[in-house]
Amino acid sequence: MSPKANLSHGRGYLAIPGPSVMPEAVLQAMHRPAPNIYAGELVDMMPGIMDDLKRVARTQHYAAIYIGNGHAAWEAALANVIAPGDRVLVPATGRFGIGWGEMAEGIGADVQLIDFGKSSPMDLEVIAQALDDDKDHKIKAVLAVHVDTSSSVLNDIKGVHDVLDAAGHPALLMADCIASLGCDRFEMDDWGVDVMVTGCQKGLMVPPGCSFVFFNDRAQTVRDAMPRVSRYWDWVPRSTATEFWQYFNGTAPTHHLYGLRVALDMIHAEGIEQVWARHTVLANAIWAACDAWGVGGDLRMNIVDPACRSTAVTSLRLNGNDGTRLRDWVEGQLGLTLGIGLGMAEPGDPARDAYFRLGHMGHVNGQMIMGLLGGMQAGLTALDIPHGSGALEAAAKVIGGR
């Protein structure tokens, strides 16, 4: 028996699905006095930032920046193409799809919700049927979440495009890639996505505060036909800015831009394909460990089919209140913070304390994930939570390429 000691002093690890771990280089780039916003370095940086954002999104078309979080990007995207009374189809696979639908309702859209529950991906045949039933093409847009961060499901966005195509339906395909961009493979142009929204604080490794809307010519045509668009959310001046302030409709998010510049450099230096591959291997290591723990224990991954799991976040459940006990223990004893369960059980329902999530998005590497899993192993052991053996070995095999 070793002496009692608290082991949380040292560098902590925030393993929640956003905000994600930030690179030191990003933080250092932001630590500076206020820059001039009328001329000089920051102004000169803008065209490069816009180009490099589009490279991450895999689009040749347009991008607009908003000072705001992911919800702001949701609102911005809707404000440009959805007028009161317009119908949107929302195939939801967790809390975030429902949330985007609520945002659309808030601006007066007629929301047609298809709820696929909390642990399954979208069923493309059901979407195809809804499009087929929409004979007079009332549905103006499909709001599809790529990775729903509550359930950790990965949806087939290209599949949604193919279904629209097969139905000959003109609705815009709008994708939420707030959790997935820079983690899970996403190809805006190749997959036929018309509008994509994302934020800066997940795969893009910058503190919360900026979000982005990408759009193509089809979306711009719909924007042009709108009866009116709020000046603030209008993506036109932001995407065609000739003066610096126009990118932001006011003062720039100065320090975020310095951080973002470095984050984009890091992503492109690694290579986006390599970024995706890193997330895939790390996620596979986590899943191998979870599979092993689940043998003879209560730990379960929310998404059963690995092909439908995001490589950025994993939603898990234990029994009783063991999810919360484990989170509390690894945070208090080890300095490791795991994510709460989100949207899986209603507030007040004791089942809430069974759920938790692991964020593994952005600036994460092999030793961090082995540390995360080792910390969980220690917590399961310390708390006498039943679990199978061999989890760390299973993860190590994946990390080691065996």
Ligand X SMILES: *Cc1c(COP(=O)(O)O)cnc(C)c1O
Residues making contact with ligand X (CB under 6 A): 18, 69-71, 96, 145, 147-149, 176, 178-179, 199, 208
User: Tell me, what DSSP letter sits at residue 249?
Assistant: T
Output 18 or 379, the one with its CB closest to ligand X: 18
Output 70 or 362, the one with its CB closest to ligand X: 70
How do strand 195-199 and strand 172-176 relate by DSSP bridges? parallel
The single-letter code of the amino acid at 389 is S
Output 70 or 375, the one with its CB closest to ligand X: 70
The single-letter code of the amino acid at 3 is P
Q: Tokens representing 63?
A: 């991008």
Output 310 or 377, the one with its CB closest to ligand X: 310
Shortest spacing between CB 195 and ligand X, in angstroms: 14
The rounded distance, in Å, linking the Cα atoms of 185 and 179 is 12
Output 17 or 297, the one with its CB closest to ligand X: 17
Residues with Cβ within 8 Å of residue 290, at least 6 apart in sequence? 299, 301, 314, 316, 391
Output 173 or 392, the one with its CB closest to ligand X: 173
Write the DSSP assignment of 141-196 as a string of letters. EEEEESEETTTTEE--HHHHHHHHHHHT---EEEEE-TTTTTTS---TTTTT-SEE
| Other CB atoms within 10 Å distance of the CB of residue 44 | 10
Output 111 or 385, the one with its CB closest to ligand X: 111
Shortest spacing between CB 187 and ligand X, in angstroms: 18
Length of the chain: 402
| Inter-CA distances, 151 with 106, 209, 344, Å | 24, 24, 7
Shortest spacing between CB 39 and ligand X, in angstroms: 31
Give the nearest residue (CB) to ligand X.
Answer: 70
Output 211 or 377, the one with its CB closest to ligand X: 211
Shortest spacing between CB 210 and ligand X, in angstroms: 10
Output 95 or 397, the one with its CB closest to ligand X: 95
Output 181 or 392, the one with its CB closest to ligand X: 181
For tokens 């209560």, name the residue.
Answer: 298
The single-letter code of the amino acid at 85 is G
Shortest spacing between CB 177 and ligand X, in angstroms: 8
Shortest spacing between CB 91 and ligand X, in angstroms: 14
The rounded distance, in Å, linking the Cα atoms of 59 and 288 is 34
Shortest spacing between CB 180 and ligand X, in angstroms: 7
Shortest spacing between CB 208 and ligand X, in angstroms: 6
Shortest spacing between CB 383 and ligand X, in angstroms: 29
The rounded distance, in Å, linking the Cα atoms of 294 and 389 is 9
Provide the angle, in degrees to the nearest 10, between the axes of the packed helices 95-106 and 70-81.
50
For tokens 């206020």, name the residue.
Answer: 34
Q: What share of the chain is helix, strand, coil (3-state, %, to 5)?
A: 45, 15, 40
| Inter-CA distances, 326 with 1, 294, 317, 323, 381, Å | 21, 15, 11, 5, 10
Shortest spacing between CB 135 and ligand X, in angstroms: 31
